[in-house]
Amino acid sequence: MQELTFTHGMHDGDRAALLAGLGAYNQTFIQRDNWGPLSVACHDRQGTLRGGLIASRKGNWLCIDYLWVDETQRRHGVGGALIKAAEQEAVRVGSRFSLVDTFSFQALPFYQKQGYALQMSLPDFPHEGMQRHYLTKTLVHADSLAVSVTVSQ
């Protein structure tokens, strides 16, 4: 008989086996040659990180996981430059679309200003009265994306 075990944190070996099994199954349907990490960082002249973006490429899609800009650098174009740099690189390596999600207390208007269209809002996530918004964008050709990041002091 099989035994079910409940935990709040899966053992590393079980996690690796689960992901390997799922990966092997998915591989019969999904080519993973255009998958991988993508990140962009913005440092000031002293080398301090002032903003960054962490994303992954999944086939035709750039999936933005995290975007952060230091409070002192907001509204100076850093966030938009990080997005554009990631989009440019994603297009260069074959991505055609971009996906991002954000909470209601974060950056919905910012992403819309960058050309992202709201696809869905999940109500009461993660808590009552909050929403999680999912946005997408069709990416343009890399040669039309100019990126220049200047951090004001």
Q: What is the pLDDT of residue 143?
A: 53
Q: What is the pLDDT of residue 144?
A: 54
Where do the domains of the chain lie, and which CATH numbers do they carry? 33-144 (3.40.630.30)
- pLDDT digit string, tens, across residues 25-65: 998 898 888 899 999 999 999 999 999 999 999 999 999 99
* Percent residues over pLDDT 70 in the chain: 91
Q: What is the pLDDT of residue 33?
A: 83
Q: What is the pLDDT of residue 152?
A: 54
Q: What is the pTM of this model?
A: 0.82
Query: Contact, 135 vs 101, CB < 8 A?
Result: yes
- pLDDT digit string, tens, across residues 105-153: 999 999 999 999 999 999 999 999 999 999 999 996 545 545 555 555 5
Q: What is the pLDDT of residue 142?
A: 45
Query: Contact, 74 vs 98, CB < 8 A?
Result: no
